[in-house]
Chains A and B, each alone.
Chain A
Amino acid sequence: MQRINDPSLPPRIVAVYFGEGAASEGDFHAALNIAATRSCPVVFICRNNGYAISTPTLDQYRGDGIASRGIGYGIDTIRVDGNDVWAVREATKKARQMALQDGGKPILIEAMSYRVSHHSTSDDSFAYRARVEVEDWKRRDNPISRLRKYMEAKEIWDEAKDKEAREGIKRDVLKAFSQAEREKKPPIRAMFEDVYEELTPELRAQMQELRDYLERYPDEYDLGEYEGGKNSLDS
């Protein structure tokens, strides 16, 4: 739409990433349907990794994965091996091209994979699946080792480069951590901002109220770590 008004803008598409679990939500279906009927240049990229936290795909759907749903909504759909970096790249590239054809249309990609990690740092996935299953996948079909093998075959990667990269990256991450830890936290005022474009009178009053508490009880709050301390609350 923006390009109709301003043809100098580069052609753009929207890429939407989600898992097979999210595809059960009502908004997935609503989004596919409206994107199809309104011919929106959207590439829906579903990463089907077999688990939504603990829920396996067997509890998630009974049809032919997520890809079959795209066809139902009249959307061109492709299913790729999600553990093959080049296949995913190729499919996405083609999908982008197609999405911009005929004045725009949505495309659905279902990338098949397996979640070798836990759902999050707070999840222990061995409570609902066998450790051996995970190890098996890690060994048999691991996108990282597959890419590494490909690169080694092309002689653009080797053990030395691997070691160097691992150490370098680890160093960079730790450096970033220590830098971030030294930085002050954002001002307390930020808590009230960006709720509305402008602070409302109510929020201003609440800021003042909070400032009064902080002033009245200096020992009860640790404000040193926040940029500007309590003064950031001055309106």
Chain B
Amino acid sequence: MLRLTRGTRIAFGIVVAIVLLFMYVPLFLVIINSFNIAPIASWPITGFTLDWWVRAFQNEALWTAVTNSAIVAAGAMVIALVLGTLAAFALQRYDFFGKHTVNLLIVLPIALPGVVTGVAFSNSFNNVLEPAGIQVGYFGMIIAHATFCIVMVFNNVFARLRRMNPSMQEASMDLGASLWQTFRLVTFPQFRTAFVAGGLLAFALSFDEIVVTIFTAPAGVETLPLWMFNQMARPNEATQVNVIATVLILLSFIPVYVSQRLTRAEEEER
């Protein structure tokens, strides 16, 4: 353990406090302002009301946006889980021509600016597929999201597979298990936590994606981030955004909690 003098420790404490303030004060303001009587965010709030909460929960456009986001994120997550896992197995277990290139191509979309992905998909959908008579619509948005969600699953599963003892699979088959039994009983349980963590990340990534969504959402379809973004332009409605932001802040504790629990369970197993 590094020994620090009293002065250094106090200095570090102050730096940490400032960083945390910068991170969490704005979030706190959002939560407080969701109960603000005034339609415009302020500090201190002018009075307490639950009116915005009621209006938000009765807002049909908002619920449609939530549903859209959930469907898109779930769709992107499922695609990412299947393709990401398969890719991780292929690249971890087998040697083939162009392996490193494939690895690069799978990881690249996460580094690519969202606006580039958005323009690229928008062009392909509107200028290539549509003239050819193919309407991707809603599904196009899911596919666009899946391109960068795959990386989340791939990275997690790939790292886990690399640490896995290959004689485990051999032992399973040696004891009479078929390939499928081996996967179900031995292989999958060992990368299950990485699979779930990758899935959660993929879902979260898609759920709050706005840049790619702007370019690929079909006309008239709003995901939650898109709805919030559009709301901000209408001053009288802006406070409802605070309400939904507060809900999202609370919801985001769930994946953080789950992933920490998973990691801890794993460490105990080692």
Whether both chains belong to one complex is answered with no
Residues of A within 8 A of B (CB): none
Residues of B within 8 A of A (CB): none
